[in-house]
Structure 1
């Protein structure tokens, strides 16, 4: 590794450290006055107060709709290949959703909705009085429609008026169709819009609560654009949406709960908050959506729910913009992941069941693609090693004048035909692919609860080594895969330094960076650190192969030939060398003028 390569890598590492410092998942105290439990109880009390009113009072206030305000709650369980869905006649609502093919980290049933964690209201004005359509008691009926089962909840009123909710459950999949209809109530419902309120308490289902919190937020698609509340924020986050809204989702690390409009909601509000003192809750999510009354009366209030995995392969066809719930990184990393890495990864998962083997194959494929760059980088280091005696001689001859040292070094590079930044360029070109892997593993639900050796779950850190105390930035555990990655990186750095011209503090810095990343990556996905460890092992083999084809004697002979040609004026200079010489001449001229000005001032 030559000096320029070392500088380039150090700058990149510094940028990474700044990134992880500002976005590190360290919990902070959350803003006060967040009392979702109290608000939930207040809503329940309101319902109880309405039901406690005498029949005569309800009849006088709500007319024949009053008969639907009292009743006995009954539930209905329906299943398809992927979901267990519990419906209630009270509100005609989905009360519970269980994903049959997934479990929590503790191997319990994974439920994205439960009665105590999810509440819905649909508010309107009926004959001048406040009314919650989800507070009524509905009559249940079921019917078949092709391969789907339809659950119909109805409140029938006088003169043929009615309120109807229709759920369509297909034989498989995570989407549930939903239609909301009213007949004969157009004049009795006031206002232009109905207000749909959805309040969700997100419970922990993964191993790492801190990691789950920074990956849980509300996402939405408004005005043909994907948006989200800041997932890493420790404070209350909210957004008022005053434009057409296609869908809203409560996004957890690996799962989504979403409502999607066939046309659009006319606007809404979204809000998330955290209570860091309560480890039984990940986040609170509040969603308000405006449904045009005209859609109900025209029979066009059509929606669907999605309760399922945040799986890049499965959510692409749910609705527009929905696939962006899987974060693939920033451009150009996003394009590399979307068009190269993810397709290859998903192809491998379709034919291989061992995810350790899949990761090893990914390493081999990536190393094969990057081999020309790796070869060029190694060749550049070999050239700098050959030049090291002459570079050292320049330092001894010139002394402590660093400007003069650099000028003499550049002159030497020009004479022998060596590009001093050629070793840095291959490293920079590899960075987007390396970053693509950095985003691949945390976004891949396929790794969730997949074991490998001592790691029981490749989607989170392996904690084989538990510490009796908490170490700042490290936590209370040591990831063995991260330790192996760090050890192999230190060995790789030592090998490079044997053929590098870098000396002094820069050489010491190359050993510090792997130790820094031990702290950075200790709580990251075990799949990611296993990938980096295997990548280092393959790099050792790759360098051993390259070394057999790099003859330092031939490199020295070519340099001497270049030096002779340049001395006689017969050498052909590259554009880079020509610009380098111009820069050297300009620098020398500027140095000479500065020296003359200094002398004149002394006179």
Structure 2
């Protein structure tokens, strides 16, 4: 391994560690003392929970004008397409359960993303008589289900009197993962205040994946404001992270590792509050998200407030079809890394999906594609290292000539580089240019639902770590399991490093030590990451090694030496320019400052 290549490896490793440390989900602030919920533009009254054991007749008396629809019998109805089965109830006219038909939990049980035991939604409003009414206190009549062009729709109506009613309409298309929802208050303008309605949603995320830690690490409460500012909460163990929403909001999403439940407003929510927390000791809970959102009264008293529920996978092809940058629910990295995933990795991955059923083979072909794409950079890097190997005898002679004088050694070395036409940084540039792909993949594999529950060789699920052996104890930063793909990745990296060091004897001392240390560091970093990621890098190491051996056959170091000698004769009296000149000037200035300091100290 050449010095520039080793430096590049160290740079990548440091950047990777910095990236994983500082660009992971934000750490929440210190716990905030909970206060009665105050929603922007809404009443400051907390939505009080109604005791479940209060008889309907007693509840009806407390609801005044709305008491006539507070007595009834709860009945269920279903809307169903090829992706979802939605259960609705006349009690509150609300969603009680959502089943994702084409997915299973990690232990092969039906994947119920939303149910009344773990998720509760409600809408409350204020009357002119000073009462707070919740839709969950009311009974609705289910009108017949309609089916037009494959779209199923059902309306729940609570009739208070002639021309006075509350309508809730749900519509489910033939495919997709969205449930359209419309809330209309007809003829009730004189009964309601102009204060916003309050939508509340408490969602206790259930464990759907094998690795609870990974599931928690990738679970966030996401939101998008009307100004298209994206924000999120992650929460900490036993500490609630709370955020007031002072500006209008377009959508809020309870995002897990691979699935999301969300609500999107056609107009906007005028404000609200969101909260994230979780119990570290409860292995049945991922996180708990609590949301209150203000719905402008004019929306529901007019033509009706229109919303869309999303219950589905965090699949880029699905999410990007929804409005208001809803694809931000998928963690693809920030900046250029997200663009690499969107426009390179994901399209190639989905193209290969059309023809190949084995995701292990798809990963191998993805490696081949990316390595072929980066081959010109790999060749340029190797060519630069070959030039440095050819120059090594002359560089060693300069070091020996100016032994102990670092300034003169560097100055003479840079002069040599200028004469022979070699840029010492050119070996690092290809490595730096490959960093966006490296970081993009670190976001792609942990969030790729395509790999979820897909087996390959001994790995049962490429979206989480493979367990080749369980340890009877836990090793700090490593875990209590052995990932064979991670071991293969580490072994292939060490073997590749050893092979390069045998050829290049210029790597000595600390640099040689670091070249072997970094693979061991990654052994700990990658052990609990998805098997698909470690398998990718294992294959990448093997292919890189093969590319290096192939390139060697086309690089003649004797011809390189002859060309460098010719360049030296040609540029013998040529003044350096560009980067090398600036570097020489900087070294000269540093040398003059050092000499001046020595002269001053003697005085």
| Superposition deviation, residue 413 in structure 1 | 2.3
CA contact (8 A) 1:220 1:247 kept: yes
Superposition pairs for residues 517-528 of structure 1, below 5 Å? 517-528=522-533
Query: Aligned in 2, Cα 1:573/1:499: closer, same or farther, shift over 3 Å?
Result: farther
What SS class does the counterpart of residue 264 from structure 1 fall into?
Answer: strand
| Superposition deviation, residue 12 in structure 1 | 3.0
What SS class does the counterpart of residue 367 from structure 2 fall into?
Answer: helix
Q: Deviations over 1:256-306 (max 9, x none)?
A: 101111111111111111111211111111010111111111123111111
CA–CA separation in structure 2 for the residues paired with 1:368 and 1:22 = 31
| Bigger proportion of residues as helix | 1
What SS class does the counterpart of residue 364 from structure 1 fall into?
Answer: helix
Give yes or no for the alignment of 1:192 onto 2:195.
yes
CA–CA separation in structure 2 for the residues paired with 1:230 and 1:265 = 18
> Paired residue for 1:536, among 541, 556, 559?
541
Query: Partner of 2:297 in structure 1?
Result: 293
Query: Aligned in 2, Cα 1:240/1:31: closer, same or farther, shift over 3 Å?
Result: closer
CA–CA separation in structure 2 for the residues paired with 1:368 and 1:202 = 42
Q: What runs of 5+ residues in structure 1 fail to find an aligned partner?
A: 35-41
Query: Partner of 2:78 in structure 1?
Result: 77
Superposition pairs for residues 256-335 of structure 1, below 5 Å? 256-335=260-339
TM-score with structure 1 length normalisation? Answer: 0.91
Query: Aligned in 2, Cα 1:87/1:479: closer, same or farther, shift over 3 Å?
Result: same
| Superposition deviation, residue 202 in structure 1 | 0.4
Give yes or no for the alignment of 1:48 onto 2:53.
yes
Q: Deviations over 1:355-409 (max 9, x none)?
A: 1121111111111111111011111111222222333333334333333332333
Shifted more, 330-339 versus 515-524: the winner is 330-339
CA contact (8 A) 2:261 2:310 kept: yes
Q: Deviations over 1:136-190 (max 9, x none)?
A: 1111122324122211211112233111111112222211111111122111112
Query: Partner of 1:419 in structure 2?
Result: 423
TM-score with structure 2 length normalisation? Answer: 0.91
Superposition pairs for residues 54-453 of structure 1, below 5 Å? 58-59=60-61, 61-63=62-64, 65-126=66-127, 127-146=129-148, 147-231=150-234, 233-234=236-237, 235-453=239-457
Shifted more, 340-349 versus 463-472: the winner is 340-349
What SS class does the counterpart of residue 529 from structure 2 fall into?
Answer: coil
CA–CA separation in structure 1 for the residues paired with 2:516 and 2:144 = 68
CA–CA separation in structure 1 for the residues paired with 2:191 and 2:29 = 47
CA–CA separation in structure 2 for the residues paired with 1:176 and 1:28 = 32
CA contact (8 A) 2:30 2:241 kept: no
Query: Aligned in 2, Cα 1:564/1:593: closer, same or farther, shift over 3 Å?
Result: farther
Q: Deviations over 1:97-131 (max 9, x none)?
A: 00000000000000111111011221112332121
What SS class does the counterpart of residue 563 from structure 1 fall into?
Answer: helix
CA–CA separation in structure 2 for the residues paired with 1:125 and 1:366 = 59
What SS class does the counterpart of residue 99 from structure 2 fall into?
Answer: strand
What SS class does the counterpart of residue 366 from structure 1 fall into?
Answer: helix
Q: Deviations over 1:223-266 (max 9, x none)?
A: 23242323374442221112221111111111110111111111
Query: Aligned in 2, Cα 1:389/1:286: closer, same or farther, shift over 3 Å?
Result: same
CA contact (8 A) 1:214 1:233 kept: no
Query: Partner of 2:38 in structure 1?
Result: none
CA contact (8 A) 2:235 2:276 kept: no
CA contact (8 A) 1:25 1:211 kept: no
How many residue pairs get aligned? The number is: 588
